[in-house]
Structure 1
Amino acid sequence: MEVLFILLYCFHILFTCTIASDTISINQTIRDGQTIVSAQQAFELGFFSPSNASHNRYLGIWYKQYATGTVVWVANRETPISNKTGELTLNPGGLLVLRDSTTNQIIWSSDASREAGNVVAQLLDDSNFIVFGGEDGQENYIWQSFDHPGNTLMPDMKFGRNLKRGIVTNYTSWKSDNDPSPGPFMICMDFSGYPQIFQKNGDQIQYRLGSWNGLAYSGNTNNHPNPIYRNWFYMDEIETSAVYVLRNKSVLARLTLSPQGNMAQWNWINTQGWFLYSSLTTDSCERYALCGVHGICDIQQSPNCGCLRGFTPKRPDQWEIADWMSGCQREIPLDCGVGEGFRKYSFVKLPDTQQSWFDRNMSLDQCKMKCTNECNCTAYATLNIEQGTGCLLWYNELIDMRTLPNNGQDIYIRMSAAALEKDKRSSRSKKKVLAIILPVGLGSVILLGLCVIIIIMKKKKKKKKKKKVKEQGRSDSIVQKDGVDVPLFNQSTLSVATNNFSTDNKLGEGGFGPVYKILALQEALEEMRQKQTPKGWLEHSEISL
């Protein structure tokens, strides 16, 4: 009995090790409790429950080596298994089938199959679970999980549509953190005009990332290059898709749409876990059509909404209470008359491109000509600002615009002849005003400059004079009186020179007092010279006291 138990245990270990490879072969079954792991141990596929409190079981893919347990894909989102009886099998046609083993009921299956040799299902290190024929290779795959995302967009995962395969790729939020069934929020690509990306809540558009302009999406508020990833857009007759590619493959990154409708990019940092790198919704101007038709949102202004130049609010009373949904109307209506032209608006997010028309090869001049010749054409813009080529035309009201001082682009909006003439008159008026203001202003600046120079020179002169007086503030000094330099002596010098005012040195008396003979004139002179007395003082030998 013990030998049988050991054999069974060894068989179980051997079978589990075999299952733990990265592939599933034809007619091979993966049961609840068994997993397959990608070659570099990056991702794992198997059965899981969203929380410890939930008994529902789902077939999914999650991070294995880092961010362990973070789920990135779920197969049976809408049909959970109530116990651990799930089984996944690959049939000879390449169809993946998930059953409840107790009822043999099919819970979920992949939606594509075909006859091919050596069919396998393989879990790749980018989290893609792919079914392909060994002779055809992965490029000619039968089915892949990347074509059926849930709430997570992984690097290199294309997002859009493929006409050849007949698939449209959207991704949707979970209902809650514990319920992976589709919630109300969706990120999708609209193809009714020039392709653009929306976020919706049910059928209502919440946010518009915009259309691709050759460098980024027109509504992206931050187009600056970064070392983590870059966005890319691809379009031909068969495929239209968006993708973001990691510049550094060692980075773990993912885009998610939360149950609350928040679209965010997360990067893994070993010391912190998942770190919020960026978010789609950064300010109130991201709200779709916040300012109505022909309105424009400026996050730097208060209130945020205003009308494009040449337009005025349709309902001024509503705008006064910050209800801008009614939008704006033209001050002077179009009449398709002679003289109609275009007014250029710069640094803006281009309007909603639903019902727009585009040509990827036309020049901007050709684009202008086409719009000019079609009365119902309301605006035009360059399709690819990186190459300066392509034409994008609007034939309806312009909606969902905002100012983007650092990342916006140019749009040319059709205006009536009277509106353009009004612009010309305003421009001429401004030139006349400038012709008057500039000379006067320049003269005032020059005069002010001269005044400043004179004041500075006077201050310097005054400072020098104060310095000179300070230097002359000695006990023995020279002062100038009536143009004559007169030496001044202190009491001790005079006492020495007159032998303490001895009567023997008294020469007599004048009108100002007694007159003494200086005995030490040479010593006094030497003392004055040592004190750098200026030249020109009166050299006399008698001093009146």
Structure 2
Amino acid sequence: MATVTVVCVGIHLLFSVIKFSTAVDAITQAQFISDGMSLTSKDGNFEMGFFSPSNSEDRFLGIWNKNAPFKTFVWVANERKPITDLSGLLMINRSGNAVLLSRNDTVWSTNSSKQPENPILQLLDSGNLVLRDGKDGNSENYLWQSFDFSTDSWPISARRVSASVSTDYCDTYGLCGPYGVCTISESSVCKCLKGFKPSSLDSWKVMEYRQGCVRNKPLDCPNDNGFIKYVGLKLPDTKSAWVYQSMSMKECEAKCLSNCSCMAFASSDIKGSRGCTIWFGDLIDIRHILDGGQYLFIRMPASELGMNILLNLLLPLTLNPSSGFLLCPSCFALWKSTFEETKNGVKVKIGVVIIATVVSIVSGLLLAAYYIRRNRRKSKDEIIGQKEDVELPMFNLSTIASATANFSLNNKLGQGGFGAVYKGALTDGQEIAVKRLSQSSGQGPNEFKNEVRLIAKLQHRNLVRLLGYCIQGEEKLLIYEYMPNRSLDFYIFDQAQGKHLDWRKRFNIIVGVARGLLYLHEDSRLRIIHRDLKASNVLLDKQMNPKISDFGMARTFGGDQTEGVTRRVVGTFGYMAPEYAIDGQFSVKSDVFSFGILMLEIVSGKKNRGFYQLSDNLNLIGHAWRLWEEERSLELINECFRDSCTLSEVLRCIHVGLLCVQQLPEDRPSMSTVILMLGDENALPRPKRPSLFMGKHSSEADSSSVKQETSSTNEFSITLLDAR
């Protein structure tokens, strides 16, 4: 009988494994994912499972696009903590959190503060991995989602988890297909050339680009054809190209125009001064070069040329500093070739009305260009502060492009409101972090102007140092010192990573941040309010020394001014002082409140925005206050350093933290007083009951609020510099 039971159980387990091995998109607490198993979204586009990078035996849990030409990852769980064997196991624990285990050691966790009744971990068709409660009637009410921690879409051979491998994504032959151009510095590496569109929108949405692009309007050869000039390109594959070394560019154009199979021509000399290369058939393997590249003339129908006449006319315009704008002789030939076509041996004039319109437009543009030229230096002075001396080196774009491998995705550290952040190395070996202004960001120019003008003058060991800047064309870059140990939140909110910060290191971080704020409030040339102090904006150097970063929302006060009012409340909820969040009033005491929250988070290892006393919906402030009133503050100390810390020192930090988060600004201590209280053993005043300790809405993710503002104080627009 026992034998029969064992056989039945074995058959049941076998069928369970067979059933689970089919494509499933979710697991419950009764299921798990081990190495060799996977989740697949219902539409089959995305898959999650374990993998190893090229030339590595380490194992990672990630989500990738199944339809990409090679594994393109959108999220990796244990990017900083690889598993060294096949013991990886993804499951939902008793508290309802998804955890990744390796030999009973927690490698990664969702760390959701709510405990669901029926937790479900599901891979959606969008590629988003979500943790939700099956008992919740709203299936879109997520307790945690991977989109909040998304990874840039990189091929696995170029991922940071395989640092020994350095592969250029655009080196993949034909990655973007016919008439597609690859740009390594863009998040969507493939785009269609102007005048073309994706041949399959559905394929491009899932990053399958190899079908390439098709013309917006078909060619009608030999009638009404011309060429559009594209700049800054690596020329297409030359398998279907002919080269004429002795042919001039004018002869090259005529040669291509006379043959309907010719799709493009270019100079065979990289300097564009001699030789001719013409292409037949589709143009494949085109790449954009950030600083350099060649010209390529692509055959287009007259209907497309009409939209580019102005560009064709303005491209030959060159600026002479002494005499203004000069029109090169080839412009008239270009005009003639643009508006005259030969048909049955007779020259036919086309677009007479358009010509007159374009002449008017060009005249207006030339006049505008004159004023732009006259005011160019003034505009540049306004960017960096006309009356202020910026004692910083100005880098060339080519230097920074070389330092970051042409802003390679391999070197990308993160993405924020300002734009992308890249790691780089100068020729002398110095590591740098480069903030690249996004051209689509309306906030960036103001931030750039203020950061260069002001932060350059801030010199303190607990502030991230600005090394230089770059202004060239549309590119605006800030060059900072590189911080190798990422940001504070990476450690204090993760139980596994938190073990790397013992109490001595945590206390040094608290004191270092306090000294940095004291410098901003009292010792710098102007009184500066940071307005966005939080764990993710405290970066750590090699010795784990803290440095305050991200001054994009900072305000400056001059003279005797100590506070300001704004109608635009911007910042991170959970760290905002009540008078600022509710009435828009901010002062140095606003930063003191944020510092108090930060101290309580460092001590407890918990985020302020969460429920820690479920019966009363208490957030971290309320939870800490309740424990202090009941003389149970020891329970707030994080267990990862509780046994090795100096209890009196930790309890003092909790006490000072509660003094900093008192409701009224006048009750809170200044940063100079905070440093004194942290450094001596004198009796501390009793804190008053804090505000905002009821956490009814604390489950919401950290977010920012932006409203229209009028203010007399200097403003830095918002920026979210990702942890490095």
TM range (shorter): 0.3 to 0.5
Higher helix share: 2
TM score, norm. by length of structure 1: 0.34
Please say which structure displays the higher CA radius of gyration.
1
TM score, norm. by length of structure 2: 0.27
